[in-house]
Amino acid sequence: MKKIGITGGSGFIGHQIISLLLEKKYKVKSCDLAKPKNFLLKNKNFQFKKINLFDEKKLSTFFSDVDCVIHLAAYLGVLNTEKNPLECLDTNILGTKSILNVILKNKIKKFIFSSSSEVYGDQDKFPIKENFEYKIKSIYALSKITSEFYVKSYAKKYNFNYNSVRFFNVYGSGQKTNFVISKFINQVSNSKNLSVYGDGTQVRAFCNVKDAARGLFLTLIKGKKNTVYNIGNNDEPISMYNLAKRVKDLSNSDVKIVKIKFDKSDRPKEREIFKRYPDLKKIKKDTGYMPKISLDDGIIQLLK
C-alpha cells in the first residue's frame, strides 16, 4: 500500500498525516476546497486538487489509482454546526456517502473514516471504551455516528475493509482559535483574559496533533480490519479551569481567568459534555500506539 488518497488534506489533522505519510515514503493525493501549505506542494510525491465532496466524477478520476482513502473532510466547530445544521448533515453524511461511492467505483479495498469522540456524549463510566453506548447531544455527533453506520454498511455489502477512528480533543499548531487550547494560547499571547465556559469543571484529555496523526498512521498499517478505534491521550485528564491556569502559568502571564455563562458563550449548556477521556487499550494492543507528547510540552511548543 503505497499511494494514499485523502479528503480534507488541507485541514488541521490533514497536514500532519500527509507530512507523516510523505516522510514514510508514501505517495499522497489530497483533495480539499482550500490549498495545502506550500511545503507540501513542493514535494514530488504529493498531488493536490481542489474538488468538492459531492463531485463524484472528479473524485473518482482523481482517486482512481490509490490503495486507500482517508476521509478527513468534515463540517466542524460547535458554533458553526449548531448554527448551520443542514450544512453539517449534508457535508458530513452525504459527503461521506459520496466518497463511499468513489471507493466502490474504483474498487478501493481500504477506507479510513475520521469520526469523533462527540458520539459518546456524556458517559457515566471512564475511561470511555469503543463499545460504550452512543449518547448524542449535537447535530455534529449525529452526523458522525450516522456516517460511521454508512461506512460499516457499505463495507459489509460491497466487501471492502474499513476503520473508523474517534479523535479525542486534538490540539496543536495550525488549529483554529475556536478550539479551547488554541483559544487560550491566542488570548494569552494577546494579553487577554482567559475565558472559561460555565464553572470550568468540564474535564477533557488532550492529544497533540502529531500523536493523533501517528495514531492514524498506525491504524492504516496495523489496524485490524473493520474495527473502530479511539485516538487520543488519556494520561492527563484536566478541567477547563485548570487548563486555563496551566496555560497562564506556562506563559508567565498575569492575565486573569474569567468564567463566562453558557448563554454568553458559543454553546448552550445542554450541548456541553462535562467529562470525556478515552480508553486506549484497543488501539495500543492492535497497533502499538502510545501518545508521546505531554500536555505541558504541547502547550510550551505553541507558546514559542
Q: What angle do CA 62, 67, 69 make, to 5 degrees?
A: 65
Domains and CATH numbers, the chain: 3-169+206-233+277-292 (3.40.50.720)
Question: In which band, very low, low, confident or very high, does the pLDDT at 28 lie, cut at 50, 70 and 90?
Answer: very high
Overall average pLDDT of the 85-103 stretch: 98
CA contacts within 13 A on the Cβ side of 27: 10
- The per-residue pLDDT for 63 is 98
User: Which among 109, 213, 201, 104 is positioned nearest to 167, based on CA atoms?
Assistant: 213
Overall average pLDDT of the 4-15 stretch: 97
- The per-residue pLDDT for 1 is 67
Give the DSSP H/E element, type plus range, for residue 175: none
CB 18 within 8 A of CB 6: yes
CB 245 within 8 A of CB 299: no
- The per-residue pLDDT for 33 is 96
| pLDDT for residue 113 is more than 80 | yes
| pLDDT for residue 45 is more than 90 | yes
Overall average pLDDT of the 247-251 stretch: 98
| pLDDT for residue 150 is more than 80 | yes
* End-to-end alpha carbon distance in the chain: 37
| pLDDT for residue 29 is more than 80 | yes
| pLDDT for residue 25 is more than 70 | yes
- The per-residue pLDDT for 263 is 84
- Alpha-carbon gap, residue 179 to 76, rounded angstroms: 10
| pLDDT for residue 267 is more than 90 | no
- Alpha-carbon gap, residue 98 to 83, rounded angstroms: 24
Overall average pLDDT of the 228-246 stretch: 98
Q: Output the CA torsion 209→217→94→46 (10° steps).
A: 90
- Alpha-carbon gap, residue 286 to 84, rounded angstroms: 38
Instruction: Read off the pLDDT of residues 183-211 as tens digits, 9 standing for 90 and up.
Output: 999 999 999 999 999 999 999 999 999 99
| pLDDT for residue 159 is more than 90 | yes
Overall average pLDDT of the 134-152 stretch: 97
DSSP-based three-state secondary structure for 199: coil
Residue whose C-alpha cell is 455527533: 141
- Alpha-carbon gap, residue 222 to 165, rounded angstroms: 13
Residue whose C-alpha cell is 471504551: 129
| pLDDT for residue 171 is more than 70 | yes
Average pLDDT over all residues of the chain: 96
DSSP of 37-64: -HHHHT-TTEEEEE--TT-HHHHHHHTT
